Structure 1
Amino acid sequence: MRVVPEARTFEVGDAADVGAWERHNAEALVELACVIPAGSFRAREVNVQVDRLRLAHVTGTPHTVARDAALVESRPVDAIAVYAALRGEALLESGGRRRVVRPGQLLVCDADRPFLRGFGHGLEELAVTVPRAAFAELTGLDSVAEPLVVDAAGAGADPHARALVRLVGRSVAADVRVPADERAVLELVSVLATGSRGPLALAHRAAARAYIDDHLTDPTLSAASVAAGAGISERQLSRVFADADTSLPRQILARRLDLAHALLASGAAARTVDVAARCGFASPSYFSQAFRRRFGLSAGEVRRNAAS
């Protein structure tokens, strides 16, 4: 049985709670020192742990956060951090350089290199922390030399950045939270960090995984459509999944079952047969068998548990 991660929410509603906010982030994401302007401070964070990854949806009123050299030395987190700005500009100071990260942009940085981020007009963002060891497995690198800012929205957006925002957003910010595919997140972050220097097969597989997640409800999803979406041939598509010790049918099945479980566990599903159809399963009986094998419970049991 695969345990589907649950989201937890932490909120503060007063300037006096800034210490609690710092402690929560130290435990759930990245330890930061927080400075707030005079007046009230409100913030909310939805956190999800997906295997080795920590994901979050963060909102807050104006404040500044920092990891200075002393904090990095005393409390290293040994992780690569990714922040996707949804609302509010963020001033970034790192390595003696200043820049502004705007809504629709994505920041990739080493969480153990000092930085300061200021949110003069408040913020809404998605955050991901990737353990350094997991990052090194895919990239052969142990760090991001300097912060990278990538467009994740608009006409010139990087498709991998855009895909990462959608994938993480569905996991932490949607009404029905679909567990993120850990491998897809790792691959997308790795592609963004390495750019043209990274393995081409990794970029192709990341694009294919993202395309699958965007089209899970399409019953006609096929090798041909995924290959076209990733910009490669069907033979290449088969090869890049084989390189990761899996296959395209296994990837599609696993992600459709994740979606089905999320729908059933949300309590919004009326009938399991409707969930099966919505998740692209042509055969309700095949769906039922595959669901029980994956989760150790029937789809009906998950639905009834959610309703009770």
Structure 2
Amino acid sequence: MLSQTVFRTDDVPAADRMDAWQQCVGQTIAPLEVHVDPQGSSAHSGESFTAHQRLIRLDGVAVWPMASDPCRYVRNPRLIRRSDPEQYHLTLLLPGCGPLRTEHAGRRSVHRAHGLYLLDTSLPSNVTSSRSDGPVRAIGVEVPRLLLDPPRHGALASVLGRSLSAEVGFGGLLAQFLTSLDSDRSDYRPSDAPRLRTVLLDLLSGLIAHEVESEVGLPIEVRERNVEVRIRSYIHARLHDPELTVGSVAGAHHLSVRQLHRVFQHGDFTVSGYIRAQRLERARSLLADPGGSATPVRTVAALCGFSSLAHFSRLFRATYGVTPSEYRREGQDRTGRRSPGRAPEPPRADRTGATRAVRSKSVVPRPPTNRPDA
């Protein structure tokens, strides 16, 4: 019989259950934050949370059937810097499993029973299940990157976070193997672990190759547009993160910096220019919102990814011709007078992200400020 390690929240004091489960999955996958379903009632608290895991080791690969109440798993840049096992995580959603919602590698996806998805521990991820959707029943798999064919690494960007079928093709074969391994583990000896690992890796490599080739079959302009849409979505979702840079965006999509710049080569902005313009536009929108007038400018800057208030103020003034405080005050004055007025428009930019202000008549435009691309 294959050796296994079993975890049950029933074996842990009620007050310690969430911490124990967080430690369990953190040791299995990578350091994670685990939160009780945010939509749950007071009856669904950490003390009433239940989870069960069986961990089967296959010579460096981990397979772990599990069942749990709904919760949210978060792996953020801070946790990645703290520890990264550099492995891929696969989830097979079993019959009866409620939907799982993921945010990973620039994609937002909803996964349902009889489905699969693949995550990279080196990239941020957010996996959420809701109490209203029922319990989670799944099989997790952890595979070190080095055990997969190296040529597949760069192509994985088109597969990460996607919903994959576990009913047909390689996905169906992989699902059959994992469910059989779970139910028939007593039929195997510990010496079978290396052979089982080989079968698992072959099926996973076949699934990845098939999905990548399906993507390659699309017209090149469609593939390029899909990549650009995913990257822009990724940037928009992380404008608050001061560590959002050209390098981090490229890494999250398994691209070199040069390849990332090619994605933006026909647009109005370079990559860093686009990030900067979107941050400034979000800040402008927040400052123009009357409901947020009590929010300090420093907080607005932080919410838009600017760690330095002085740097934010300089960029804002170079773009819109006024300081953030003056912009907010002008908006309040216009609202108070109930007279027609027009807020400054978003910046027009050249390829380097340099901007020039487009102003209402009450403010004298300033000359453009050029800043080198990051």
- Do these two structures clear the TM 0.5 threshold for a shared fold by scoring above it? yes
> How far 1:173 sits from its partner (Å)?
4.0
Gapped regions of structure 2 (runs ≥ 5): 214-374
Shift in alpha-carbon separation, 1:177–1:118, aligned structure 2, 3 A: farther
State whether structure 2 residue 25 is matched by structure 1 residue 12.
Answer: no
Shift in alpha-carbon separation, 1:118–1:173, aligned structure 2, 3 A: farther
Is the CA contact 1:80–1:135 (under 8 Å) kept in the aligned structure 2? no
Alignment of 1:1-40 (within 5 A): 5-13=2-10, 14=14, 16-37=16-37, 38=42, 39=45, 40=48
> How far 1:149 sits from its partner (Å)?
1.9
> How far 1:174 sits from its partner (Å)?
4.3
> How far 1:26 sits from its partner (Å)?
2.3
1:195 aligns to what? 210
The letter for the 2-side match of 1:93 is E
> How far 1:140 sits from its partner (Å)?
4.5
The letter for the 1-side match of 2:111 is V
The letter for the 2-side match of 1:60 is S
How far apart are the structure 2 equivalents of 1:110 and 1:143? 13
The letter for the 2-side match of 1:163 is L
Question: Which piece of structure 1 moves more, 188-197 or 62-71?
Answer: 188-197
Flag as ranges the 4+ runs of structure 1 deviating above 3 A. Answer: 173-180
How far apart are the structure 1 equivalents of 2:99 and 2:15? 22
Gapped regions of structure 1 (runs ≥ 5): 199-308
2:139 aligns to what? 126
Is the CA contact 1:132–1:142 (under 8 Å) kept in the aligned structure 2? no
2:156 aligns to what? 144
Larger Rg: 2
1:70 aligns to what? 78
Give the alignment's Cα RMSD to 1 decimal: 2.2
What TM-score does the superposition give when structure 2 sets the normalisation length?
Answer: 0.47
The letter for the 2-side match of 1:141 is H
Alignment of 1:1-308 (within 5 A): 5-13=2-10, 14=14, 16-37=16-37, 38=42, 39=45, 40-86=48-94, 87-120=97-130, 121-137=134-150, 139-141=151-153, 144-145=156-157, 146-153=160-167, 157=168, 159-174=169-184, 176=186, 178=188, 181-195=196-210, 197=212
How far apart are the structure 2 equivalents of 1:142 and 1:5? 34
How far apart are the structure 2 equivalents of 1:60 and 1:92? 17
Is the CA contact 2:89–2:120 (under 8 Å) kept in the aligned structure 1? yes
2:290 aligns to what? none
> How far 1:56 sits from its partner (Å)?
0.4
1:235 aligns to what? none
What TM-score does the superposition give when structure 1 sets the normalisation length?
Answer: 0.56
